[in-house]
Structure 1
């Protein structure tokens, strides 16, 4: 019972995850857990294994060792689609927008569920008519665009947007159907300071007001330290350190491996 109660405190867990590419260990014995309503940062030098870990968590890659739990259930062998239907969303380092669709239509497409999970997806599937279904999707899209500061861009083609705005559209699309777990892979890349502030505000709202668990990979260490309540550091495929932002920033091992002597 205690073990079950402990697991229920976390919405997402990686336990002893290992991944090999031939003779190279990309990940070795990685443990990580994120609670509902928490923003957790994942940092480390290039090649540390951050994106590989995201691939394992989101179901794109199966680990060679260890497993993944979602809401306490083992989902190690579940597909990315199954995980998405049960509340997991992810963005990527390389932009994955539908460039020939408008910003608004990118969000509408993200709600095109068939036999989806719970929450808003279930409400959509239960819509009595196609017209009601379409109206619900459009209304939800407009609300998310307002929350993300993108309502003025609703009619613009996504492929014509500058990088920072396109990143915000990716975030908006990821939360068009409210997630339980959100994996953000370098979301602030290419953003201006103002755009990063908007990104941080949206992420905080998701965690604080909607109880979403957010795991954030980002090379802008100052941004991570300001936004995240807890930080995990990967180096050479292993967890080098974890703790609060202040604890990680002061850790000599982290300074030597990643932050340098003049930590932010």
Structure 2
């Protein structure tokens, strides 16, 4: 089994008197799709902020490929292959879909031949994501489901080593979720990308992820395969009383084996 590519250890985060994360440890290996689930307020997005460098933890460390990056900036992490999408869409609405992907590569600089290569790369990724017909569409005009796929495509435009996906299936249709899952599996299985995803659609997580981590009240409540997590009594208790989200997903934990 390969070693973890991205690892968080002993992560603590406080917001005044609120202890958002308590001694959290999580890791993801190359070629693995790991799910991060938990009730609202469990600390999932805060942990993503720490992993992506947008928030420095009050305690704990982050290592990437064996090197401590706890103090590295979000820009450094992104340029070294750690890419993130957001719960709220962050597309450049006044740019076309193609240009959203080109912009993601522009930090590399270079003259006109480099620009042509970036557009060629953008076209290849759009094709892989089934977005060819939308290449010239302004991103601000896209429905939610297509915008989610464009965000994923933009994260892939400059080939990533780690993908941090924050609710990629939110607001999508069943068909769009299948398409998202296919692209994510391809990145893990064929490209060796390490994928960590936060998602309220538990069924999506259980079908897609080989390993699942459950957060509750800022702590790791459980970790294991989908079947192990589904059967854990503490996990079921944490999910009691939850219901459907506005996107048609559910935070109710499905029965083991469902």
**Matching residue within 96, 99, 102 for 2:93:** 99
Q: Which residue of 2 aligns with 1:15?
A: 9
Q: How many residues align?
A: 245
**Matching residue within 147, 150, 159 for 1:178:** 159
1:197 aligns with 2:178: yes
Deviation at 1:113, TM superposition (A): 1.6
Structure 2-normalised TM-score? 0.92
Note the alpha carbon deviations across 1:100-128, whole angstroms, 9 max, x for none.
000000000000124xxxxxxxxxx5x6x
Structure 1-normalised TM-score? 0.90
**Is the CA contact 2:53–2:72 (under 8 Å) kept in the aligned structure 1?**
yes
Note the alpha carbon deviations across 1:12-54, whole angstroms, 9 max, x for none.
0000000001111000000111000000000000000000000
For structure 1, which runs of at least 5 residues remain unmatched after alignment?
1-5, 115-124
1:26 aligns with 2:23: no
1:110 aligns with 2:110: no
Deviation at 1:262, TM superposition (A): 5.7
Deviation at 1:235, TM superposition (A): 0.1
CA gap 1:191/1:261 in 2 versus in 1, 3 angstroms: closer
Q: Which residue of 2 aligns with 1:38?
A: 32
User: For residues 200-211 of structure 1, what are the structure 2 equivalents within 5 Å?
Assistant: 200-211=181-192
Rounded to whole Å, the distance in 2 between the matches of 1:191 and 1:231 is: 21
Q: SS of the counterpart of 1:113?
A: helix
Rounded to whole Å, the distance in 2 between the matches of 1:85 and 1:169 is: 19
1:89 aligns with 2:70: no
For structure 2, which runs of at least 5 residues remain unmatched after alignment?
241-251
* Structure with the higher fraction of residues in helix conformation: 1
Deviation at 1:131, TM superposition (A): 2.1
Q: Which residue of 2 aligns with 1:66?
A: 60
Deviation at 1:135, TM superposition (A): 1.1
Note the alpha carbon deviations across 1:147-203, whole angstroms, 9 max, x for none.
101011000000000000000000000110010000000000011111000000000
Rounded to whole Å, the distance in 2 between the matches of 1:262 and 1:198 is: 22
Q: Aligned Cα RMSD in Å?
A: 1.4
**Is the CA contact 2:230–2:254 (under 8 Å) kept in the aligned structure 1?**
no
